[in-house]
Amino acid sequence: MDLNEMAVFATVVENESFTASAKILGLSKSAVSKQVSRLEDRLGIRLLNRTTRRLSLTEAGGVFFEKCQTVMSVAEQAEYAVSRLSNVPRGLLKINAPMSFGIKRMAPLLSSFREQFPEVEIDLVLNDQVVDLVEEGFDVGIRIGRLMDSRLMAKKISSCKMALVASPSLFQNKAIPIVPAELTGVNFLHYSYVSRASGLKLVGDSGTVNIPVKGDITANNGDFILSAVQGGLGFACLPTFICGDLIRNNTLIKLLPAWEIDNENAIYAVYPVNRNLSPKARAFIDFLSNYFTDIPEWDR
């Protein structure tokens, strides 16, 4: 029995698609289809019903898929048990991270990681949209915000503070706002992946207030928003890993310093819940936990 063909068949059934399975397996769609057909020919029975709209298991296919799952589970456990015998993480580590965080913070981090684990190769993919780690074949992802995907295990690696920032040039001919109400009418630069329909919720000594925000620029990238802020086009609510250094050197003004953004966001390392962590992925997650603290360097 060809275990590779069984694995391909099981992947097709789990994803209900030759196209999605081909992407996960790193094969062409035709190669995946041929392997399943070859398996059916050798067994002498049809395992899948194929239509233009969907795939479904035949009765024989259902029985065979159940047995495949058992075999694949045993094989995966055997591979995991052997890999655990090696204390040296090695191989290609595929990481997904948000664009701005990757650009601002990942290079020195990965440099330090590679010094400790020189046999690990890095494939870093930056994307502000949330990608499916399982479908895209990532070992580890970095997520910022509130986690929604129940298929992912998560480990908090740092806090993620937010700040209201503006360029000094924005208030060149008028007073800098010192209370929330004074921000009303100031152009707000909106990051499109975060809804501000209900305004900005601020917390201060006198309680909590909501201020409505309106603006004429929306963008899906934090670095663009930062550039627009520096250009004096408006103010923005940005994570401090993007703007903290510029606040510290007085390039940007932190607006309303007596108020904090009501914010439950954090920075997490995430990985698929049903996947045994390889030594390289475990090493990277442990490294992240030690590299960052709950008060990261950009907030000190």
Return the CATH superfamily for domain 91-160+265-299: Periplasmic binding protein-like II (3.40.190.10)
Q: Is 154 helix (H, G, I), strand (E, B) or coil?
A: strand
Tell me the CATH number for domain 3-84. Answer: 1.10.10.10
Residue 265's CB is within 10 A of a number of other CB atoms, namely: 16
Q: What is the pLDDT of residue 88?
A: 78
Measured between alpha carbons, how far is 16 from 282 in angstroms, rounded to an integer? 30
pTM for this prediction: 0.67
**Residue owning tokens 């399982």:** 134
The domain limits of the chain are: 3-84, 91-160+265-299, 162-261
What strands, in cross-sheet order, belong to the sheet with 200-204? 207-211, 200-204, 260-261
Domains 91-160+265-299 and 162-261 are alike in CATH topology: yes
List, in order, residues 6 or more apart from 59 with CB less than 8 Å away.
Answer: none
DSSP secondary structure, 162-195, as one string: EEEEE-GGGGTTSPPP-SGGGGTTSPBEEETTS-
One digit per residue, the tens of pLDDT, for the chain of length 300 reads 678 888 899 888 888 889 888 888 888 989 999 999 998 998 999 999 988 778 889 999 999 989 888 888 888 777 776 656 566 788 899 999 999 999 999 999 999 999 999 999 999 999 988 888 888 889 999 998 876 656 678 899 998 999 999 999 999 888 899 899 999 889 999 999 888 878 899 998 888 999 999 999 999 999 999 999 999 999 999 999 999 999 999 999 999 999 999 887 889 999 887 656 788 999 999 999 889 877 888 887
Q: Provide the 8-state DSSP code for 299.
A: G
The CATH architecture that domain 162-261 belongs to is: 3-Layer(aba) Sandwich (3.40)
Q: Is 216 helix (H, G, I), strand (E, B) or coil?
A: coil
